[in-house]
Amino acid sequence: MTDVVPVKASSQFSIVSNRYGRIMIAALGLTLVLLADPIDSIANQNLTVHMFQHLGIFILSIVFGYALHRLLVIRLASLKRVTSKGWAAFIGIIKFNTKTKGLVFAGLIPSIVFVFWGFPYYFQLAVTNGYIHILEHLSYIIAGGLVGLSVSAIPKKFKALLLALGFMSMGMMGSMMVVWPPGFYPMYSAAQNTEMNSAMMLLGALGMIVVGSWFAKVLDII
C-alpha cells in the first residue's frame, strides 16, 4: 500500500482563507451592489439616496483598505517574494503614514474629495455625464481606501478628532443648505433638498453625540 504524503500549504497569498481577505471580498461585493442598478439609478433620482450611496461607498472602501493593510502586514514576506515593487510601495505608504500620522491620507485627501464633489456644478455634472459619474465614484473609492490604509498610523485622539470634525461638518452643511434658496442642488426638487438637509443634520448630530463622548474620554475630559 502506498503512503499518502501530505502536501504542505503554499506560502503564497491565500486571500479567501484569511479573515482580512474575506472582509476585503465582502466590502468589495457590497461596494459593487451600491454602484450597480437599481441603487445607482435610484440615487440619480433621489438626492438622499445619492448622498448615502456616496457615504456607503466611502465607508466600505475604508473597510477594504484597512483589511488590505492588515493582510499585507501579515503576509509582508510573501508580498516581497511575489512583487518587490509592490512590497516597496507598501513600505513607502507605511513610512509616509507614520511620518504624517496618517492625517494626509485620512484627513486632507477625503476632505478635498467631499468638498469638490459637494459643489452643485460638479455634483450635477456627475449626475448627467456618465464618465464624470464614474470618476466621482472612483475618487470616493480611492479616498476611502487611503483612509483604510492609514487607520493604524493615526493616534487615537486624532481618530476621534477626525470623526468629530466629519460629523460636525455634515451637520453644519445640512443646516446651511436648509436656508439656501431655492435649494442647494437645483437639479433636484425643493422637497428632496429639504429631505437630504434634514438627514444630514440628524446624522451629524447623532454622530457628534457618540463621537463627542468618545473624544472627551480620549482627552481625559470626562
| Degrees to nearest 5, angle at CA 117 with 114 and 119 | 110
Query: Do 20 and 123 belong together in one domain?
Result: yes
124 shares its domain with 175: no
Q: Under a CB-based contact definition with an 8 Å cutoff, are residues 152 and 69 in contact? A: yes
Residue ranges making up the domain that contains 206 = 155-222
Which uninterrupted H or E stretch holds 177? helix 156-178
Q: Are residues 63 and 28 in the same domain?
A: yes
- Determine, yes or no, domain membership for 8: no
Same domain, 129 and 209: no
Q: Which pTM was predicted? A: 0.86
Which contiguous run of DSSP H or E holds residue 198? Answer: helix 190-218
- CB-CB contact of 200 with 170 (8 Å): yes
In a domain, 50, yes or no: yes
Half-sphere exposure (CA, 13 Å, Cβ side) for 156? 7
Q: Are residues 103 and 20 in the same domain?
A: yes
Per-residue confidence in pLDDT tens, the chain, 222 aa? 444 444 344 445 566 668 899 999 999 999 999 999 999 999 989 999 999 999 999 999 999 999 999 999 998 988 889 899 999 999 999 999 999 999 999 999 999 999 999 998 999 899 889 999 999 999 999 999 999 999 999 998 888 889 888 888 888 888 888 777 777 888 888 889 889 988 999 998 888 888 877 766 666 654
3-state secondary structure of 181: coil
34 shares its domain with 45 = yes
